[in-house]
Amino acid sequence: MKQAIVSFLVCLVAFNVFAQTPVRRMLEPRDVLRMKQVRQPKVSPDGNWILYTVSRVDSIKDKNLGKLFMTSWDGKETVGLTEQTSNPGAHAWSPDGKYISFLASGKSDGDKTSSRQLYVMDRRGGEPVQLTQFKGGISSYSWAPKGNQLVFVVEDVDVSDTAKSNVRQPYEITRYRFKQDYEGYLDNRKSHLYLFDVATKKVDTLTRGNFDESSAVFSHDGNLIAYVSNTSADPDRNSNSDVFVFDLKTRKSRQVTTFKGSNGSPAFSPDDKMIAYTQSLTEENFNMYDVTELVIKHLETGKEENLSKVLDRSVRGFSWAPDGKSIYALVEDDRKQHLYQLGVGNGLRKAITEGNAVFQSLQSNEAGKLTAIYSNPQTPDEVYVFDGAQPRRLTHVQDEFLSNIKLAYVKGFTSISADKTVVSGILYTPDSSAKSLPLVLFIHGGPVAQDDYSFDESRQILASAGFAVAAVNYRGSSGRGAAFSRAIYADWGNKEVMDIVGSANYLIKSGIADSTKLAIGGWSYGGILTNYTIAKDNRFKAAVSGAGSSLQTTMYGTDQYVTQYDEELGAPWKNPKKWMDLSYPFLHVTSIKTPTLFMASQNDFNVPVAGAEQMYQALKHEGVPTELVIYPGQNHGVSVPSYIIHRFERHINWYRKFLK
């Protein structure tokens, strides 16, 4: 009897241990509904709190909803702030730290618009109060140091549709570049600076004219406002932008930079004697292929200093140190993005963080307390703060989501292309011991972007479906310097395909991939490269091309890249051979044997839907298995949660069907 009781107790203990051990499963497309997005951490002026947003999916409304939170610096207390407000954005602390401001859309008495307006709320709680009633939408804003004023960037009122019926007035267009994804057809409205008095609500117009102003920020003494504008003869034909300073005492504006490329994101030094800003490497009319550098200018002497040029890597955000002797900057580098300290006048270049990870959204308060978003292959975005030199995790927003999930195994790799170029990639597999798997090369867009060691929802979901999934930073990608990005200038679908195929060959040779089960896919330039690759290599048994194009002349005048075409390729009627050479997937469609699923967004002005439609029609004509999916009402980025799930499911089912 005693032995039976002991056996029963042993079994009971074992059962309890088993019951408490979470059963982990692989990611599925429907997990999109459970994932959360953490964005824009902001340190309070006293350094005691971090403000940030958390976005989640409302599955009933089939949309994303955002909410403001703040967490104490020690991480012991978290407070939810905006229960009733829909998707607050551009949040900030008032200079005294007593109030929180943000932009949101909504109507109030006397306000007939639904454009974004500024709301403020007591940080201790309570309902937000709408502070502004601009007829045009607010793009951005900045608090004056004393908290008595704000400067706004406001778009001119849209008066193009004055019809009382539901029939919209015709678009009447005169601009050279007349289309922009998400914005639609472009009219001649401009964005200007307005000074707002908090006590009286009086609005003072600071700038007028036929140019756009943006990125307005106050100096620390409150006397100056720095901003960005392109005042060239025809801003539509170039990428030029300069930093200007508006003096509130003299009511005059002066141009600080004269570089013919792009300058942006101005920030005054703590003593207001210098301005730091980003700058493109070249002065070309379209400068996508270079790196973004960090430059400072002494306002009295005009002396410039490029703090990051020797790095040959793009700066993706920065913040002045309190003593003004250095700047903390996020620097992109070969699948990673880390915090650096860049010295002013002394050549200091010191990496603060390390490892296979990505930091983004860097921000600090006047005392120099730093915060950023951190992510690695096993950790979706979380807020981190810096205690001394080392980052410390502050939030645990993703813990619940990850509690029952077994994530894919992730490791970096390098391959060598046919011309001996070394290419960096990241491999995702269901587990660390996976061998001879069906391989999906999932190609990033851009092309000047990089796949990095942040948490990658897309490739995690594909790997969880049983595939080896490779991210390939082909030539044209960022993170490896300007020459690497520029290697594909006016030569699309050549070196990139060589790099993609080289990565596939490496993974086959290493035993990871089954050479008889190769697939490829991507969105935007990833879709374009999918078309190029299957036109050159018939080993691929399945492809999914999203938001791509192949008959490139179709894109001229129908997408938003006319400046790039003019600069990089020349007009089609002036350089027809170049345009035909770059259109080989369509013009040589008979060489394509790969079953291909084409996808596109109905309202995409970035890569218009015609690109997918034409390739679908061509493959259909040639009898190659093909299908076409169009996402209604979507722009270049698909945002409706159910559509995102559908897109993942269609990828997986298409690959499984043809890879068997």
- Residues of the chain below pLDDT 50: 1-2, 4-15, 17-19, 108-113
* Per-residue confidence (pLDDT) for residue 23, from 0 to 100: 79
Tell me which residue of 5, 59, 48 sits closest to 641, measured CA to CA.
59
Which bin fits 324, alpha (ψ -120 to 50), beta or left (φ > 0)?
left
Judged on CB neighbours under 10 Å (0-12, 13-18, 19+), 111 is middle
Query: What 3-state DSSP class applies to 182?
Result: coil
Q: Strand 405-406 relative to strand 25-26: parallel, antiparallel, unpaired?
A: parallel
* pLDDT, position 444: 98
Spatial separation of the C-alpha atoms in residues 265 and 194, rounded to whole Å? 18
pTM (predicted TM-score): 0.93
Say if strands 274-280 and 468-473 run parallel, antiparallel, or are unpaired: unpaired
Contact 87, 73 (CB under 8 A): no
pLDDT digits (tens, 9 = 90+) for 160-217: 776 677 788 888 899 999 999 999 999 999 999 999 999 999 999 999 999 999 999 9
pLDDT reported for residue 18: 44
Write the pLDDT tens digit of every residue in 571-590. 999 999 999 999 999 999 99
Q: Which two tokens stand for residue 570?
A: 């020349």
Q: What is the gyration radius of the CA atoms in the chain, in angstroms? A: 26
DSSP 32: G
Q: Rounded to an integer, what distance in angstroms lies between the CA atom of residue 521 and that of residue 500?
A: 11
pLDDT given for residue 111 in this prediction: 42
| CA pair distance 532, 496, nearest whole angstrom | 9
CA distances from 48 to 70, 71, 72, 80 (A): 10, 9, 6, 16
